[in-house]
Chains A and B, each alone.
Chain A
């Protein structure tokens, strides 16, 4: 079975600092990878996705992620965070069919 590991449950960072949220997946076959964001008291929304092609994927709100097949990683980065980026971020993979398997989530806390 495919799984997703988000290595940090919480990441505190100061405003305008860079941030990296780590995600590793286990799979023996090609997968599609996603990052979703959940703002307080909201549902999840798609940040970015990797299906094929360039390993560097750009998403909304200045986020980007890099797919690394050899390290089975899909880390999310932003060069300069804002207070409004405070949220929980979920990495997800699609094993097969119309399904998404989510990681446990990483809470990003941006401090002023």
Chain B
């Protein structure tokens, strides 16, 4: 398996524009996570899905952020409108089972988003 695949790897956009980040989890994994990494706040869990259903979105910063998982092999994280403070590295991760019980979470290489 190629691992968790994220696209694009880098995104530069202007403030106010819509941004869509994409993730393909490892085939067969039933949990998917979106994390954001910044210098100031470290790694934050934004949302996670189990069997394509959003379970916990308490980390989503505000209504400008939305995430979907239309099927087991694809998820998107959308920011509309984007703001400079959204600049960060966004990671997608997937797992087969409960990461809180020891199942390994496999991370993609991340999308570095810069909003100017």
The interface stretch among A21-29, A73-81, A92-100 is: A92-100
| B48 CB contacts on chain A under 8 angstroms | 98-99
A56 in contact (CB, < 8 A): no
Asked if residues A32 and B101 are in contact (CB atoms below 8 Å), the reply is: yes
B99 in contact (CB, < 8 A): yes
**Tally of chain A residues near chain B (CB < 8 A):** 22
Asked if residues A51 and B102 are in contact (CB atoms below 8 Å), the reply is: yes
Cα–Cα, bound, A94→B105 (Å): 12
The interface stretch among A11-19, A42-50, A61-69 is: A42-50
Asked if residues A97 and B100 are in contact (CB atoms below 8 Å), the reply is: yes
Cα–Cα, bound, A32→B103 (Å): 11
Q: Mark out the residues of chain B between 77 and 112 whose CB falls within 8 Å of any chain A CB in the assembled complex.
A: 91, 93, 95, 98-102, 104-110
| B75 CB contacts on chain A under 8 angstroms | none
Cα–Cα, bound, A95→B56 (Å): 13
Asked if residues A95 and B100 are in contact (CB atoms below 8 Å), the reply is: yes
| B101 CB contacts on chain A under 8 angstroms | 32, 51, 94
Cα–Cα, bound, A100→B108 (Å): 16
Cα–Cα, bound, A102→B105 (Å): 13
A90 in contact (CB, < 8 A): yes
